[in-house]
């Protein structure tokens, strides 16, 4: 210390900085950064990292955003059209105003990739051979991920074209074939060998003969389920009775279909609505959908029902078909009981029809599997363990053929999961499971920091044009609207570098690490007031008690 | 079909920064190069609104003055927690003299700069509500009246916090302090007393008067920049919650400032030459209880038998502000 006399008047000590005072010792709780699991990601059956690709889309980094999707799901353009987007029902923004239009942005990105021909490279070859049975969404997704992991993949497909129900079930007006074809072609370009017109009748033999070290079964449920209705097929003038799956396949193959005259579709699911809407497009005289459930409990997606009705389908709820006499259908009137029970009234009414389409679900044909040792088939589905392996070692299964959610996105999620587990199996390891992070539910957010912004709506082809052809009915968002929509995302649970913590700390105890690198705390001075955690818009900071 | 064509940046300008905005549209606080005029190691309580408000304002002033800034500081928390001799947290030329004379000291500095021809140096004086509305009021009024080239910033935490939460003339009615009625039919500060300094400043007809809260950084930065660029006397009144004196949670400081504005109790506006020229509208109107309930200084109103009449009188004050300053958007729902 210097001598007092050297100092100016009345000064006895050197000026010091308060940095000598380490106020971090006052703290009883410390802030820590964390990544919480956004509810949309948690909900997505394909396990997409939605928040993270929206974040890139917000910055107009479309290719990077698309690559983020492709880490999980090889079908963004398909997803943007047929996925039932349960992510949007889980989206926190729905509590604030309206959910983020995740699906529209995904479609925009998927289409950008097709337009610019972005590609994915296969992984370095492992020399291992895997076979996949069925080129539906589940099989193709597994093939894609296996190829990325460096395995040689052969896909056996019974039909003349790949895609499974994405092609032979879902009608063109919802899923244009050139988009589907282009996304499948991209997988083929990675070296995945898809053998068409190759229906397998003995999987065990093919596996053995081909020297495959593992197999993924994804044969789906290819048969339409039917019920026997008294009187059907009797008499001279009879109603043509067909099943929905065959009809939709015929529509796709542009074969003569039964959908002429007065068409009655029986069933309340998406398939029933797809058949009905196809019939309208094929010029049927009238199209009626007879459903057991009341409208609000129909399994079909409400938007599809609404659009179908706009196009002219006639919906009759709470009816069960009892008899067919010539061209007359007898429908019993049902009433809703407790929950999802429907009670008979004994009262009935009749209606005339030329065609009766049964859309009552699907069943599988698993004959080709019977030589696989240990395989178990129960309730019309193949049993698998938590790793998706069947009772037969090295044979995995997924998609519609196992007891699970039955939709394209779930089939894709299961294909991905199977690929990762097959990879572990081939390396003789246990699959690695990442522990699930805490969910960033609405209560974790500080929503006052988000701009008010209504959702953009995708344009829809007008009714006259859509009921008279198979043109795609739901249009695209333009770039500006897609970016706008992406920017409505609140980045739940994941730092998006808004600088709030850096700004609001009364003790300058947040260090900014620069774009993309987020922040860190300076625990030498942080007093643990918790303002940063309270003011973080997206809930990416947590206060943790100090050990004292 | 017409589609939305507005520019939209996720959090817009609500957050401190926003990676989607152009560099020049970002705040000073969002930059790594901000001056951190009030550095860490200061001894303010956890979650002190005054410490935060001071850094916001003085960093903005430093940026607006190109680093040529001198500050005079009144006695009070801001001075005591920042500068226990010989240490200081200030990284700017800074002078403390007395509790009541900061405006006069600043007037002197401004005069000296004028004589020295240093028109590039800008002068700020700052203090708490006690030093501003009570003991320093005479000096401040003189500074206004002479139109001295000084920006005076009052950090209003609604009491004398440094000496243990005594009432000031800026303490609102019904608030409990160490020097108001502790018991009786109507404990807490009386109704019908006190003064509202922004209006008094406006009555001096000085070039610029504004209010702000620590919940709106952009607004503070905008107002400070504007004030620094005006020659003459300027007054900025910043609302800064005090966890210790208000009995509120340390993490609630910014939230309470936000709620004070949203319920109408603290109107945020700016005025030039004595006329109001701009108001920050309420985004989502809330009842005053929502602001008061998290604070222990109002706890006596929310006991087993809530003091409904008192609360109604406070609500009436908010309603009066809303009407007087036009705080609601046209057509907004009450
Ligand atoms: C009409 C209809 C509309 C639908 N709409 C939607 C929708 O909008 N959104 C949605 O998410 N889901 C929808 N679904 C459900 C969805 O299509 C299925 O859940 C999904 O396709 C299942 O995928 P998968 O890969 O398991 O089976 P599939 O798509 O059925 O593919 C299985 C493939 O395996 C092949 N295969 C079968 N047996 C053999 C064999 N022995 N040898 C070789 N190949 C064989 C089949 O030919 C087929 O290509 C719809 C389904 C239908 C029927
Ligand atoms: C002439 C004089 N009287 C009393 C004091 C004691 N004193 C120091 S700070 C203070 C209160 C400061 O209150 P305020 O200006 O509101 O600032 P705050 O601490 O609340 O930020 C008092 C009474 C003093 N320093 N000088
Ligand atoms: S706001 Fe964004 S991150 Fe949050 S749930 Fe919705 S899409 Fe996901
Ligand atoms: S008493 Fe209040 S104003 Fe003073 S340092 Fe503590 S929180 Fe800040
Ligand atoms: Mg005070």
CATH 3.30.70.20 domain span(s) along chain A: 20-35+495-545
Interatomic CA distance for residues A422 and B187, integer angstroms = 73
Closest chain B C-alpha to A109 CA, distance in angstroms: 18
Whether B334 has a pLDDT exceeding 70, the answer reads: no
Kindly state if the Cβ of B54 falls inside 6 Å of ligand 4.
Answer: no
Q: What integer is the mean pLDDT of B271-275? A: 97
B200-218 pLDDT tens trace: 999 999 999 999 999 999 9
Cβ neighbours of A448 in B, within 8 Å:
14, 258, 283
The whole-angstrom separation of Cα A341 and Cα A435 is 40
A174 touches chain B (CB under 8 A): no
Q: What is the pLDDT of residue A15?
A: 80
Superfamily of domain A129-222+368-427: FAD/NAD(P)-binding domain (3.50.50.60)
Say whether the ipTM exceeds 0.90: yes
Taking alpha carbons only, the member of A112, A121, A116 closest to residue A189 is A121
Mean pLDDT score across all residues of chain B: 94
Fold of A39-118+445-487: Fumarate Reductase Iron-sulfur Protein; Chain B, domain 2 (1.10.1060)
Q: Kind of pairing, strands A29-33 and A541-545?
A: antiparallel
Residue B157 in this model has a pLDDT that exceeds 60: yes
Contact criterion met (CB < 8 Å) for B51 and A449: no
**Ligand 2 mean position, distance from CA B171 (Å):** 14
pLDDT of residue A361: 93
pLDDT on residue A2: 46
Q: Which among A18, A19, A484 is the nearest to B8, CB-wise?
A: A484
- pLDDT confidence of B3, banded at 50, 70, 90? very low
Q: Which ligand has the nearest atom to the CA of A39?
A: 3
Strands A342-352, A328-336: pairing is antiparallel
Q: What is the CATH number of domain B34-325?
A: 3.40.50.970
Predicted pLDDT of residue B9: 67
- Say how far apart CA A73 and CA A46 lie, in whole Å: 7
- Residues forming CATH 1.10.1060.10 domain(s) in chain A: 39-118+445-487
Query: Hey, are the CB atoms on A489 and B10 less than 8 Å from each other?
Result: yes
- With CA atoms as reference, report the closest residue to A365 among A131, A130, A133: A133
Mutate to test the pocket of ligand 2, among B72, B75, B136 (most ligand atoms within 8 A of CB): B75
CB contact under 8 A, B11 and A451: yes
Mutation target to probe the B interface, by most B beta carbons within 10 A, among A506, A519, A532 is: A506
CA distance A420 to A407: 20
Q: Please give the C-alpha separations between residue B170 and each of A109, B50, B311, in angstroms, as whole numbers.
A: 56, 15, 19
Q: Is A424 on the interface with B (CB under 8 A)?
A: no
Is-contact A389 A421, C-beta < 8 A? yes
DSSP symbol at B130: I
Most A CBs within 10 Å, among B12, B34, B46, B87, to test the A interface: B46
pLDDT at B332: 55
Residue with tokens 């005090």: B242
CA–CA dist A290, A287 (Å, integer): 10
What stretch(es) of chain A map to CATH 3.50.50.60? Answer: 129-222+368-427, 226-362
**Residue B8 — pLDDT band, cuts 50, 70, 90?**
low
Residues of chain A with pLDDT under 50: 1-2
DSSP letter string, A71-108: TT-S-HHHHHHH---HHHHH-THHHHSS---HHHHHHH
Q: Tell which atom from ligand 4 comes closest to the C-alpha of B157.
A: 3
Instruction: Tokens for B6, please give them.
Output: 């507005």
- Residue B221 Cα, gap to closest chain A Cα (Å): 12
CB contact under 8 A, A522 and B12: no
Output the residue whose Cα is nearest ligand 4's atom 6: B45
Under an 8 A CB cutoff, do B88 and A18 touch? yes
How close A532 gets to chain B, by Cα (Å)?
A: 8
Which CATH number is A20-35+495-545 given?
A: 3.30.70.20
Q: Which atom of ligand 3 is nearest to the CA of A90?
A: 5
Which pLDDT tens digit goes with each residue over A236-277? 788 999 999 999 999 999 887 788 899 999 999 999 999 999
CA dihedral (A362, A363, A369, A372) in degrees, to 10, reads 110
Percent of chain B having pLDDT more than 90? 88
User: Does A215 sit in the ligand 1 pocket, CB within 6 Å?
Assistant: no
Size of interface A-B (CB pairs under 8 A): 175
Question: Beta strand pairing status for A193-195 and A152-156?
Answer: parallel
pLDDT of amino acid A231: 85
Which among A21, A449, A497 has CB closest to B41? A21
CATH superfamily entry for domain A226-362: FAD/NAD(P)-binding domain (3.50.50.60)
Q: Is the pLDDT score of B6 beyond 50? A: no
User: Please, are residues A391 and A368 in contact by the beta-carbon 8 Å criterion?
Assistant: no
Determine contact: A489 vs chain B, CB below 8 A. yes
Mean pLDDT for B98-122 is 98
| Burial group, residue A283, by CB count within 10 angstroms (0-12, 13-18, 19+) | exposed
| Digit-coded pLDDT (tens) for B37-87 | 999 999 999 999 999 999 999 999 999 999 999 999 999 999 999 999 889
Contact A170, A274 (CB under 8 A): yes
Q: Are the Cβ atoms of B15 and A26 closer than 8 angstroms?
A: no
């Amino acid at each position: 210390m210097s001598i007092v006399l050297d100092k100016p008047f009345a000064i006895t000590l050197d000026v010091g900085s308060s940095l000598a005072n380490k106020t971090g010792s006052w703290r009883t709780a410390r802030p820590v950064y964390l990544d919480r699991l956004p509810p949309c990601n948690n909900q997505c059956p394909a396990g997409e990292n939605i928040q993270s690709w929206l974040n890139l889309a917000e910055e107009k980094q479309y290719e990077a955003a698309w690559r983020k999707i492709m880490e999980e799901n090889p079908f963004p353009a398909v997803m943007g059209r047929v996925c039932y987007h349960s992510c949007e029902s889980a989206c926190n923004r729905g509590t604030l105003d309206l959910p983020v239009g995740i699906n529209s942005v995904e479609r925009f990105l998927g289409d950008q990739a097709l337009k610019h021909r972005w590609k994915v490279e296969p992984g370095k070859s492992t020399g291992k051979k895997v076979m996949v049975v069925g080129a539906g969404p589940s099989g193709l997704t597994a093939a894609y991920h296996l190829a990325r992991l460096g395995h040689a993949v052969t896909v056996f497909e019974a039909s003349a074209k790949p895609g499974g129900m994405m092609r032979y079930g879902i009608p063109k007006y919802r899923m244009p074939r050139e988009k589907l074809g282009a996304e499948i072609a991209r997988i083929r370009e990675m070296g995945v060998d898809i053998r068409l017109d190759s229906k397998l009748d003995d999987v065990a033999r093919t596996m053995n003969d081909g020297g495959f070290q593992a197999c993924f079964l994804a044969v789906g449920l290819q048969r339409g389920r039917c019920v026997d209705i008294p009187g059907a097929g009797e008499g001279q003038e009879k109603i043509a009775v067909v099943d929905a799956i065959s009809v939709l396949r015929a529509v796709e193959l542009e074969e003569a279909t039964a959908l002429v005259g007065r068409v009655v579709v029986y069933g309340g699911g998406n398939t029933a609505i797809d058949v009905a809407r196809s019939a309208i497009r094929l010029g049927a005289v009238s199209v009626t959908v007879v459903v057991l459930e009341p409208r609000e409990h129909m399994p079909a997606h409400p938007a599809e029902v609404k659009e179908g009705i706009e196009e002219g389908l006639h919906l009759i709820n709470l009816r069960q078909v009892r008899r067919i006499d010539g061209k007359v259908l007898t429908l019993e009137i049902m009433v809703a009981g407790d929950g999802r029970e429907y009670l008979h009234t004994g009262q009935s009414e009749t209606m005339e029809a030329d065609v009766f389409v049964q859309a009552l679900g699907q069943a599988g044909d698993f004959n080709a599997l019977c030589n696989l040792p240990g395989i178990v088939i129960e309730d019309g589905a193949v049993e698998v363990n938590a790793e998706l392996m069947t009772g037969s070692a090295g044979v995995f299964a997924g998609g519609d053929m196992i007891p699970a959610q039955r939709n394209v996105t779930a089939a894709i999620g299961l294909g991905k999961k199977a690929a990762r587990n097959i990879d572990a199996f081939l390396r003789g390891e246990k699959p690695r499971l990442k522990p699930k992070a805490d969910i960033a539910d609405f209560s974790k957010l500080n929503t006052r920091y988000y701009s008010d912004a209504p959702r953009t709506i995708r344009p829809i082809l007008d009714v006259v044009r859509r009921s008279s052809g198979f043109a795609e009915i739901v249009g695209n968002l333009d770039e500006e609207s897609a970016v706008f929509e992406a920017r409505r995302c609140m980045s739940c649970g994941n730092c998006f570098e808004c600088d709030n913590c850096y700004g609001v700390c009364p003790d300058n105890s947040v260090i900014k690490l620069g774009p993309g690198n987020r922040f860190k705390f300076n625990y030498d001075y942080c007093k643990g007031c918790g303002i940063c955690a309270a003011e973080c818009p997206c809930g990416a900071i947590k206060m943790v008690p100090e050990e004292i | 079909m017409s589609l939305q064509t507005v520019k939209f940046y996720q959090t817009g300008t609500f957050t401190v920064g926003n990676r989607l905005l152009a560099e020049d549209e970002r705040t000073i606080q969002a930059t790594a190069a901000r001056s951190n005029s009030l550095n860490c190691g200061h001894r303010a309580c956890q979650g002190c609104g005054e410490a935060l408000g001071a850094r916001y304002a003085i960093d903005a002033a430093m940026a607006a003055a190109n680093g040529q800034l001198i500050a005079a500081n009144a006695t009070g928390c801001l001075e005591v927690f920042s500068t226990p001799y010989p240490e200081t947290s200030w990284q700017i030329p800074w002078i403390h003299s007395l509790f009541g004379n900061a405006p006069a000291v600043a007037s002197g500095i401004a005069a000296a700069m004028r004589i020295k021809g240093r028109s590039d140096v800008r002068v700020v004086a700052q203090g708490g509500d006690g030093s501003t509305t009570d003991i320093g009021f005479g000096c401040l009024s003189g500074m206004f009246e002479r139109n001295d080239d000084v920006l005076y910033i009052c950090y209003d935490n609604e009491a004398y916090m440094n000496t243990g939460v005594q009432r000031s003339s800026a303490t609102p009615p019904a608030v409990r302090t160490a020097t108001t009625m502790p018991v009786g039919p109507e404990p807490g500060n009386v109704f019908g007393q006190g003064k509202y300094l922004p209006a008094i400043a406006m009555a001096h007809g000085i070039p610029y008067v504004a209010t702000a809260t620590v919940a709106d950084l952009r607004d503070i930065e905008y107002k400070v920049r504007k004030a620094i660029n005006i020659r003459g006397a300027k007054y900025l009144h910043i609302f800064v919650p005090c966890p210790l004196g208000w009995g509120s949670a340390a993490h609630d400081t910014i939230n309470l400032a936000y709620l004070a504005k949203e319920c109408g109790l603290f109107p945020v506006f700016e005025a030039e030459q004595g006329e109001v020229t701009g108001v920050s509208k309420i985004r989502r109107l809330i009842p005053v209880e929502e602001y008061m309930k998290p604070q222990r200084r109002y706890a006596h109103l929310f006991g087993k038998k809530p003091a409904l009449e008192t609360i109604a009188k406070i609500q009436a004050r908010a309603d009066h502000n809303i009407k007087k300053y036009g705080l609601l958007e046209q057509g907004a729902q009450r």
